[in-house]
Amino acid sequence: MRLRFILNGKPMEVDTHSGRRLLDLLREDLGLIGVKEGCGEGECGACTVLVNGKPRLSCLTAAIQVEGKEILTVEGLWENGKLHPIQKAFVETAGVQCGFCTPGFIMATYALLSENPDPSPSEVREWLAGNLCRCTGYAQIIEAVLLAAKYMRGDALRVTRAEKTS
């Protein structure tokens, strides 16, 4: 069957079948290997992508469910070869170690900050409860999300400028 959707801002048409998972369509058919398969059964969040702006586990989503929808993966966050502020914050806080869980965390963070630009640490923890990381102990990830929120609100930029002029 023919499937049409928007992928990372670009219209896409692919042939697929009713049993295909969105995860396999993205990784295997379209080469978006930033979408990771951890558990494959909805427990780890590594496969998180955004469907119409909401985080979805692509391992539990049938490809045919995205007909006519907008999909955003971590590959869609790059602009002109530059890291997105969320990616930058994860790197700066050591929220990335082996990196396997990172695309899922970044996409979940993107959805959080789109809804709530100034979350508290407990709101961040609650939102990311479905994403697992075996390396970081989570403290750096929470720090990364709070820093990303500052970058996206422009606070960090203002702080940097104020420090430079004082």
Residues that bind ligand FES (CB under 6 A): 37-40, 42-47, 57, 59, 96-102, 133-136
CB of 160 to ligand FES, least distance (A): 27
Task: Indicate the residue type of 29.
Answer: D
| Closer of 144 and 152 to ligand FES (Cβ) | 144
Task: Indicate the residue type of 72.
Answer: L
Q: What percent of the chain is helix, strand and coil (3-state, nearest 5)?
A: 45, 15, 40
Give the closest residue to 131 by CA, choosing from 151, 111, 158: 111
CB of 89 to ligand FES, least distance (A): 14
| Closer of 134 and 158 to ligand FES (Cβ) | 134
The SS3 call for residue 133 is: coil
CB of 165 to ligand FES, least distance (A): 37
Q: Is 74 exposed, middle or buried (0-12, 13-18, 19+ CB in 10 A)?
A: buried
| Closer of 101 and 149 to ligand FES (Cβ) | 101
| Closer of 130 and 155 to ligand FES (Cβ) | 130
* Cβ(162)–Cβ(140) below 8 Å: no
CB of 159 to ligand FES, least distance (A): 27
The SS3 call for residue 7 is: strand
